[in-house]
Amino acid sequence: MLKVFKNYTYVCACTTSAFFFLQNIDVNATSEMTDCSESSSFLKCSDGKTHTFTSKSYQLNEQKGSSFSKAVSAEKSGTVINAENITITNSKTGVFAKEYGKVILQNSTIKEVAEGLSASENGAIKMVGGTINLNYYERSIGVSSWSSQGIELENVNITLREGKEQRANMGLYAGCSLNKMCNAKITMTNGSIDVVGTGAVIDKSSQGDISLTNVKITVKSGGSNEYPYDSLGMYIANNNSKLEMINGSIDFTNGVGVLVGEKGHADLDGVIITGKNNDDKGTTDDRGGLYLDTGGSIFLKDGRVSVSNTYGITMYQPVNRNMVGEKVDIENSTITAEKYPAIYITKQNSLMENFYAHEKISIVKLSKNSNISGDLLLKAKGGIIEIQADQSTLKGGFLSLMELL
């Protein structure tokens, strides 16, 4: 089960890299680079006024001796940039807002940048219509929020392709600077996220809130032969954070649909999750439609999980006296695993002595006409699981690998 830690490290490495990547962009931004005029090739407004721009193109290449490379930037309270039908390209960050500055985009295009939108220190961004289409040579980040004012997206399509260095991209990222609690927010209504890498992430060490409604997420695996990485639809690992998806869908290849850990919780209402694994059988113990570890929990209502050659639900129990058990609450939903067990449970070290002295119970609860089925219903490699069913259907057998050892 070492692969579990590889996936876990991959996500953490991504978010950590994102933090340093974004912080380095903002450090030592030179004050002289300020221009809020109609004819400027970039916008940096901080005068506390409202400005409107239409049908323009903006870019700002990296300047020697300065880390400021933001094509459109609004700073200071009262500063608002209204932009319609603009094109942003050739910058490290496309649009940036901080210190209560605000940017409103309509029907605009962001491309050829490392990071599409970024808000920090109570900055706010709203984007209605338009596209974010990136393939930065290192790693692309569609939207990052470090702000409680947050970023709001409506009918926006995000596409992140793999760059030359073949690193995992992130569609949406909510996090905070070190030692700060910012309750970073991202809301997205309609639109799509198509990413080689991870669709949406709430940082393990941060308090954040990501809410999606009618959003289509498609994630694919990638990387080089030496350093491959799995795909990940949504990830949360913080019990003070909120991850919510209403309607919409997640489709993954060689990875995980929704991963919840560190006592985090995800609410999925009317969500359809589909996925497949193209690797050989036996190499996917760290994959599945729903994946829970270290006390994570998921509530799935009026939804469907349909996967092939991978698990419907994977539950990974750590050895930790203070950790609560993992739980999946399934209401009026269907989980189907083709050619694979519907549920897989394992623990951190199945041979560890005295493990049962402080082991927790993982729970799968089905209610209101829910259905779960697979090649087997349950495959267990240690751990304790409780399956509760009320007016629901369970199909498949049971295999305990511990009995075969």
- Every domain of the chain and the residues it spans: 2-404
pLDDT at 404: 38
If residue 212 lies in a helix (H) or strand (E), which one and from where to where? strand 208-213
Please say whether the beta carbons of 377 and 396 come within 8 A: yes
If residue 302 lies in a helix (H) or strand (E), which one and from where to where? none
Angle at 66 between CA 64 and CA 122, to 5 degrees: 155
Rounded to the nearest 5°, which phi and psi values hold at 181? -110, 105
pTM score of the predicted model? 0.88
Rounded Cα–Cα distance for residues 229 and 233 (Å): 13
Assigned CATH topology for domain 2-404: Pectate Lyase C-like (2.160.20)
Amino acid at the residue 111: K
pLDDT at 170: 96
CA 345 to chain centre: 23
Q: What is the DSSP letter of 168?
A: P
Q: What is the DSSP letter of 357?
A: G
Question: What residues contact residue 353 under an 8 Å CB cut-off, 6+ apart?
Answer: none
Q: What is the pLDDT along the chain (405 residues), one digit of tens a residue?
A: 222 223 333 343 344 344 434 444 443 333 446 789 988 999 999 999 999 999 999 998 665 444 558 999 999 999 999 999 999 999 999 999 999 999 999 999 999 999 999 999 999 999 999 999 998 888 899 999 999 999 999 999 999 999 888 889 999 999 876 666 678 999 999 999 999 999 999 978 778 899 999 999 999 999 888 778 899 999 998 888 889 999 999 999 999 999 999 889 999 999 999 999 987 655 556 799 999 998 899 999 999 999 999 999 999 987 765 667 899 999 999 999 999 999 999 886 544 444 454 567 899 999 999 999 999 999 988 888 999 999 999 998 776 654 433
Rounded Cα–Cα distance for residues 239 and 206 (Å): 10
pLDDT at 279: 72
